Amino acid sequence: MKKKPFIVDTTLRDGQQSLIATRLKLEDFKDQLEDFDKVGFYSMEVWGGATYDSCIRYLDEDPWERLKIIKNKLQNTQIQMLLRGQNLVGYKNYADDVVELFINKVADYGMDIIRVFDALNDIRNLDKSIEVAKKRKIHVQGAICYTVSPVHTLDFYLNYAKELIDRGVDSIVIKDMAGLLTPKVSYNLVKELKQRFNISINIHSHATTGLASMTYYAAIEAGADIIDLALSPFANGTSEPAVEPFQHAFDLDLNWKQIILLVDYLWTVREKYKEFDVKMNSIDAKILDAQIPGGMLSNLMSQLKSQKAENKIQEVLKEVPIVRKDLGYPPLVTPTSQIVGVQATLNVLTGKRYSMITNEVKNYLRGFYGKPPAPVNQELYEKALGTIKPIDYRPADEIPPELDRAKKEIGLLANTDEDLLTYVLFREVGRQFLIKKYEKNLKVDFNIVNSFKNEDVVIYPI
């Protein structure tokens, strides 16, 4: 073994997102953050991904307040977030003025590292976020979304890595959402990246298929610098491999006493969320065909449960690769995982493929999410869009500035830039969150307030 890898802990973001549908409340880990800070992680992934949405949709928490508390308590450990490029933490592309405000605000809160990815590996969707983050001196980690298809070859990934490096990213992560990366491919890809580029390489994989730990070992042998792990209560299954075995295998310089303290506590925490627990404690080799990442699998199961159709999960898993092929082999990561997953579910529940086509699929085919990696099914395209041609320019160029219009729409609820972003990113869900947030502290009925112009009403805090 050439060197010990640095460790990114994903427990509080991807770990809990993959295993308990991102329902982990701040109150259940806030007092343990000082213990996390003593472990010795290179960094901790604590924000971004689905955490923002979950905070306002399910947890009744302000995601910005959550970030502020985490940053204040982690004095010795870098914090990082997952950013979906032009999608930010939402599910569609936003205008450039929204991207600029969001990343500048994240920088104000002290974010150390932003891991930025595009679901289609379309560099055009990353240009603005990389540009703004670099201006704010944030470490930008460019992600290669790994998947398996006839077009996703070694050369494809190496060429995309060069595009990222040409944009000035500070490190590269191979983001293997579904645990598809094999040890052999991992070794070859990392070796080629290290030989061609003078840049730090991070490996991110999920244990879903049982390959991840072997894949990490091979990547480290090839020169990988960093690996993503989670503490065991929120590891394995559809999450990342666990910290504890790697501590012993590589004699990592981590505080074992603090790890055990946290592990004992977090098992009790996970028990509290059994209603949302994906309950996957073994590998699922079928994922090698379906290519479904951890968060997507838990969401699919939740969607089917809401339709009282849990028994259809295996049919949906078989339908996913068919839809994915028809859409030009997009990697399955937010938002394309949702686009493919929902359409596959509809195909199964209706009993007829594409009898209903979602607006998201139509927008994807039109090119509003980026360029598909491979040609799409023309029969499906014509059924969805007729003779309309796909766009051939950067998707965000289609979107006019959004902030001024949003300020007028939301009115007095946009007390801060953070509140404005909550509304812009999630619209009605964000609006309802802000109403509840301020009705708790202010003597005002916002259903009345929003019928007035901003200058007509003055609100006094209690």
The tokens of 419 are what?
Answer: 């509140």
| pLDDT level of residue 457 (50, 70, 90 thresholds) | very low
Residue 286 within a domain: no
Residues 319 and 360 in one domain: yes
pLDDT at 455: 37
User: Is the N-terminal amide bond of 241 cis, ω within 30° of 0?
Assistant: no
pLDDT at 460: 27
Mean pLDDT rounded to a whole number for the chain = 92
Yes or no: say if 156 and 164 are a contact pair by the CB < 8 Å rule. Answer: no
154-166 and 183-196 helices cross at what angle (nearest 10)?
40
> How many domains is the chain partitioned into structurally?
3
Quick check: helix, strand or coil at residue 203?
strand
pLDDT tens for each residue of 230-263: 999 999 998 999 999 999 999 999 999 999 999 9
The residue behind tokens 């990696």 is 373
Is the pLDDT score of 301 beyond 90? no
- The letter for the amino acid at 396 is A
Residue where a domain stops, chosen among 397, 413, 437: 397
How far apart are the C-alpha atoms of 275 and 41, rounded to whole Å? 30
Least confident stretch, 36-45, 129-138, 408-417, 453-462: 453-462
Neighbours of 198 (CB within 10 A): 7
CATH of the domain at 100: 3.20.20.70
Least confident stretch, 171-175, 333-337, 355-359, 438-442: 438-442
Is the pLDDT score of 461 beyond 90? no
Q: What is the mean pLDDT of residues 142-160?
A: 97
How far apart are the C-alpha atoms of 83 and 45, rounded to whole Å? 11
H-helix or E-strand containing 420?
Answer: helix 417-439
| pLDDT level of residue 441 (50, 70, 90 thresholds) | low
Q: Pick the residue with more confidence: 383 or 307? A: 383
Residue 81 within a domain: yes
Which among 396, 303, 458, 442 is positioned nearest to 99, based on CA atoms?
Answer: 396
Q: Pick the residue with more confidence: 292 or 386? A: 386
pLDDT tens for each residue of 400-414: 999 999 999 999 898
pLDDT at 307: 83
Residues 410 and 389 in one domain: no
Which among 260, 189, 244 is positioned nearest to 222, based on CA atoms?
Answer: 189
pLDDT at 304: 84
Is the pLDDT score of 282 beyond 80? no
Residues 406 and 444 in one domain: yes
pLDDT at 8: 98
Residues 32 and 121 in one domain: yes
Alpha helices in 255-395 (DSSP H): 256-272, 287-290, 294-306, 313-326, 336-350, 359-366, 378-385
Residues 390 and 417 in one domain: no
pLDDT at 451: 45
Is the pLDDT score of 446 beyond 80? no
Q: Which DSSP letter does residue 240 get?
A: P
Is the pLDDT score of 196 beyond 90? yes
pLDDT tens for each residue of 359-403: 999 999 999 999 999 999 999 999 999 999 999 999 999 999 999
The pairing of beta strand 6-9 with beta strand 113-116 = unpaired
Residue 425 within a domain: yes
Yes or no: say if 38 and 255 are a contact pair by the CB < 8 Å rule. Answer: yes
Residues 393 and 408 in one domain: no
H-helix or E-strand containing 357?
Answer: none
The tokens of 333 are what?
Answer: 């990561």
The residue behind tokens 């404005």 is 420
0.85 exceeded by pTM: yes
Residues 415 and 385 in one domain: no
Q: Pick the residue with more confidence: 120 or 456? A: 120
Residues 393 and 315 in one domain: yes
How far apart are the C-alpha atoms of 301 and 371, rounded to whole Å? 29
Residue 1 within a domain: no
pLDDT at 284: 67
The pairing of beta strand 78-83 with beta strand 43-48 = parallel
HSE-up (13 A, CA, CB side) for residue 168: 12
Beta partners for 226? 6, 202
Report DSSP letters for 67-99, one per residue.
Answer: HHHHHHH-SSSEEEEEE-GGGTTSSS---HHHH
Yes or no: say if 349 and 378 are a contact pair by the CB < 8 Å rule. Answer: no
Q: What is the mean pLDDT of residues 165-170?
A: 98
| pLDDT level of residue 294 (50, 70, 90 thresholds) | low
Q: What is the mean pLDDT of residues 210-215?
A: 96
How far apart are the C-alpha atoms of 187 and 405, rounded to whole Å? 49
Is the pLDDT score of 41 beyond 60? yes
Q: What is the mean pLDDT of residues 199-208?
A: 96
Phi, psi angle pair for 172, to nearest 5° = -120, 140
CA 193 vs CA 160, 184, 329: distances in Å? 11, 14, 23
How far apart are the C-alpha atoms of 19 and 234, rounded to whole Å? 7
Residue where a domain stops, chosen among 352, 381, 397: 397
Residues 126 and 213 in one domain: yes
Which among 267, 212, 219, 277 is positioned nearest to 245, based on CA atoms?
Answer: 212
CATH of the domain at 370: 1.10.472.90
- Structural domain containing residue 296: 292-397
Residue 202 within a domain: yes
Which among 286, 334, 331, 335 is positioned nearest to 313, based on CA atoms?
Answer: 286
| Percent of the chain topping pLDDT 70 | 92
How far apart are the C-alpha atoms of 199 and 203, rounded to whole Å? 13
Contacts of 124 (CB under 8 A, 6+ apart): 370, 394, 395, 396
Residue 461 within a domain: no
Q: What is the mean pLDDT of residues 427-442?
A: 87
Which among 68, 176, 77, 60 is positioned nearest to 117, based on CA atoms?
Answer: 176
pLDDT at 228: 98
Residues 113 and 236 in one domain: yes
Q: What is the mean pLDDT of residues 427-450?
A: 75
Residue 424 within a domain: yes
Residue where a domain stops, chosen among 216, 241, 272: 272
Neighbours of 79 (CB within 10 A): 20
Residue 280 within a domain: no
Residues 417 and 387 in one domain: no
| pLDDT level of residue 264 (50, 70, 90 thresholds) | very high
Residues 388 and 406 in one domain: no
| pLDDT level of residue 179 (50, 70, 90 thresholds) | very high
Largest CA distance in the chain: 68
Q: What is the C-alpha R_g of the chain?
A: 22
